[in-house]
Structure 1
Amino acid sequence: MNLRNVTRKSLVLGTAAGAALGLVGTVGVGTASAATKLSYNCVYPLIGDRGLDVDIEVNLPSKIGSGQSTGTVQTRWTANLGADTTEGLRAVDAASIEGHAISKAVVASPDSANVQVNIASALQKTSIPDSGSFSIQGFGTAPALKFTKTGKVTATLGDFDLKISLLKADGSPSALGTFASKCTPKSGQDLKVVDMDVVSGDQTLPTPWERPPWFPGTQRSDVPGTLNYGFNLAGSSKIKAPNGTVPLKGGIDVRVDGVSGAIEGELALDKTSGPMSILGFLPVTADVRFEQVGKTVGSYANGEIKTKSTMWIYLPRMAVFGAIPLHAQANCRANAPSVIDMHSTPGQFFNPKLGGKLIADNYSIAPLENCGALNGILSIFTQGSGNTIDLNLTPKA
C-alpha cells in the first residue's frame, strides 16, 4: 500500500484551502465518499483570518480490488472566497494570487495503522476583483494506491501549511511577497475526506481527468517589502482639565513592513485653537501647536492599527473671551512631551485603501513652562490625564 497516495489526494484539498487564503471549506470526495463540509481558520500577515468555501472532487472509485492499482489519484476543486477576503487582499495591494499548499492527513487502511502524510498541491493563478467574492480553481495528483487486504480505507484531513504569493496589477510581488500561513480546522467537525472499500476482485476505475496547463505550477520565493500609505486626518482632541475641545487637522504617511506589520511614519498636525475654561466658568480661547518627537511607530496586525506618537504640546497664546491675553509666549509648552497611543476601532477591519477611525483613549499633558507670569496658574488648569483624540483618516489622493 502506498499511504502517500491517499494523503496526497487529501492534501490536494488542503491546497484548495491554501489557495483561497483559507477559511471555511466544503469538500466532496468524488465517488469514494459523500460530500463533506469543512471549516478552517487560516492566519495571514497583516489582514488576519479569512474564510473559504471549497467544492472538491477526487477521482477515486468507491471500491477497489485488493492488489488493484487505482492509477494516479487526481483531485480538482473550486475555492469560493468571500467579499471580506477580497477586501483584505486588495488592502495589501494584491491583484492576483497563486501558490501551493502542504496538507496533513491521517490515513487508515487494512494494511497499516494511522499514518500522517504530507502532500503538496497547486492552485491556478487567479485575478482578485476590486470587490465582491471570487473563485479559485485547483488541481492535484497523488501516486497510485494499492492495498493487499480487504476492508475500509479512510483519510482524515488536518492542518494546511500554505505558501502563497500575492502579486500587484503589474505582475510584480506585493509587499507581502511569498509567505507561509497555517490553516487549522474548526472543532466539532467530521474531517474524513476519503471513504473507500477494498474488496476481492478488480473494480471499474474512473476515467482519468485531463490535467490543466497550469499544473503543477512554479514555486515562487518573492521577498517581502514595504507597504506605503498616506492619510489626511480630521477630528478633535478633548482636553479634560480645562474642559475644552480643539479641532485637529493634518496628515500622516506610514510605511508598513510586509512581514511583521511594523509601522513607522511621520505625523503632522496643523496649528489649532479652541474654547476652554478656567476656574470652571471663565471662557478662554487657547492656541495649540503640536510638534512631533521622532517618528510615529506601531503595528498593523489582524486588520487593526496601533500607533504611538510622541508630541510636544505648545500653547503659545491664551486669551479670556478670545480678546484679553493671559499670555502670548511662543515657547509656552508642556515641560515634557506627551506620549499618545492610538488605535483603530477594535474588532473592525481597517482598510488602508478606505481609511477609518483612529482613537486615543487617554493621554497626559505635563505641567507648563515658559508661559510668563501666570505660568503656574495656567498649568494647574491644563495639565493632567484623561485627554482623548478622535480622528477620521482618509487616503491621500
Structure 2
Amino acid sequence: MPMRKTAAGREAMSGLAAAGALAGLITFVAPAPAGAVPVQLKQTYSCVFPLLEADPVTVEISTDMPAENPVGTSTGALRIHSVSTVSGRAAEGLATVGGVTVEGTASAAVTVRTPDGPLSLTVDNTLRKTRIPDTPAPFTVEADGQAPPLSFGSPGSVAFEVTGLQLRLTPRDAQGNKTAIDTFESVCTLDPPGQNTTLHTIKVVPATPPTSPTSPTPGPTTRAYTAAGSTGIKATGGSAPVQGSYTATYTPQSGKEGSTRGELHLTSTGGPLPLFGFLPATASYRFTPQGQSSGTYSDTRGETLRQPTVLTVPQVTLFGLPVGGGDGCRTTAPVELSLAATAAEPRLFKGSYTLPPLTGCGFFNDAINAAVGGPDNTMELTMKQG
C-alpha cells in the first residue's frame, strides 16, 4: 500500500536522523589517558532521505585526548560524549506518523591523517532509545560508541577528522511497534561543506629508548588497517568490490612469530545477483564480525586471519528498483571467513568461504538465497596500515 508522508513527518525524519546518529558519533570505553587535554568540535550536518526533506542539525562533541603520543605506543582507549538538539517541528512531525521513541545505529566516517598517510575508519554505534516529547518542543539525543586504540609508526602530527555519517533509524509507537515509515537509511553530509572537521591533533614524538641495556620482551601491539579488495560469489558468477577496516592485536610468542586477535569489518557497494538465473539484479553486502578474529603471524610463513562473520544483504535492486534485502536479510549462521597472506606478500590476504542459507530477505527470499548461497566463494583483501 502506498505510504502518505506529511511535511511534518518529512522534517522529523531528516532532523531526528542526523541528530540521533551524530550524538553517538564516537565513544571509547575507558578513562582518559595520562596527559590528556579537553577538546571539543561543533559541526552541522544535512541528511537527505528518499521522499524526505533535508534538515540541518548542530552537534557538539567533547572529550579528553592525549596532547602527545610516542611512536609505536598505543593511544589508549578514549571516552567521547556527544549531544545533539532536535527541533520542535521534528517532534511534531514524528507524532504525526505515530512515533513515540526512536532508535537505531549510525556509522561515522573518521579520517586519521598520520605522517605515513591517511587512515579511514568506520565507527559503528548503537543509539540510545530516545522518547519524543508529548508536546512538540526541542529535545536532545545522546549516545555512546566504541573504536579501537591506535599506534603510529613515524613522528609528526596526527589529526582526527570527523567527515561523514550513515544512518539506519527506526521510529516506534507507544506499543514498541514500527511506524509506517519502518526503518530507513541515509547518508549525511557536512553542511556547509567548508566547516571545521578536526576534532583533535596529536603530536607523535620519537619513542624513548630503554634505559636498560637488556631489551625487554615485547608486549602486544595493536595496529589498524584499511582493507580494500573484492569478493567472488560463485553462485552469481560475478564479483563485488569490498572495503572496510581491520584492527588486530599482535601478541609475540617466540622470536618473530605469535598470535593475533581483532575484528574485520567489510561492506560492498554491490555486485550482480541474477534472480531466477536470468533477471539482472544487483545486491549490496555487509560482513558484520561475530566476536573477535583469531590468527597467527610469522616472518617466514606469513599471517593467517579467521573471522566469524554474518553476511547481510541490505538491498537487492532490479532495474533500479528495490525488490528485497534489508537489515534482516542475513545468513542463518555465521560465515567462517578464513584468509592468509604469505611472507612474500604480507599485506595481501586471500581465502575462500561458504555462505549458509539466507533468511528474512522478503518476497524473493528463495530466489535471492539460490543466487547467493553456497561454497567456494573467494575473498581478496589488501591491508594498508595508517
Tell me the TM-score normalized by structure 2.
0.43
